[in-house]
Amino acid sequence: MGLFDFFKNKKVKPDSSAKNTLQDNDQHTLKHEMQLNEKDFNTDKETIAHIVEKMIQEDPFKNYFSGMTKEDMNARSERYYKYSEITTVNVDFTKSKDQGLVIKIEGISLGILSPEKAQTLESHQDNYLLTAFVYVTGGPFMAYDSTKEVVVEDEEPLGLDIFVQFT
């Protein structure tokens, strides 16, 4: 028996990887998403600053101003925020008996979610995998002032954008 005869007589099993791929893709399909920010929690500026400070400490990359320097900026440059690339996935939603749904970022309580949004989140949380991540908004920034032909630095109030996804 030659090598060709060996392969010719070999029984081929049906490939079940296509079926598994469909199931895997279904598991990664986005079922629901919602965006929250610090305004949804009536949080004070000190708490937000404390959370941002903790996020900066924990971020291993610290790519401030998206890697731009003053020398890189010109009249076509956009506004670059110092903390725009600071992010975390250390987000916990905890149901409190007397308060409602509490959100913690980096272990620091941001506040209580409104009953309507909490109900939406909880209804999906029972059936799907929750993924949440937080970005810093505002803070120190650099922008090119075309009238003066110079880079100006200024600051806006810090904020947080919280993205919640269910797959």
Q: For 102-112, what is each residue's pLDDT tens digit?
A: 999 999 999 99
In this structure, what DSSP letter does residue 14 have?
P
Band of residue 2 on the pLDDT scale cut at 50, 70, 90: low
Q: What is the pLDDT of residue 25?
A: 53
Q: What are phi and psi of 117, to 5 degrees?
A: -70, -35
- Work out the number of other CB atoms within 10 angstroms of the CB of residue 154: 9
Q: What is the pLDDT of residue 39?
A: 87
How far is residue 43's CA from residue 158's CA, in Å, rounded to a whole number?
A: 12
Q: For 129-159, what is each residue's pLDDT tens digit?
A: 999 999 999 999 999 999 999 999 999 999 9
Look at residue 19 and tell me whether its pLDDT is greater than 60: no
- Asked if 100 and 152 count as a contact pair (C-beta separation under 8 A), the reply is no
Residue with tokens 């990887």: 17
- Asked if 159 and 121 count as a contact pair (C-beta separation under 8 A), the reply is no
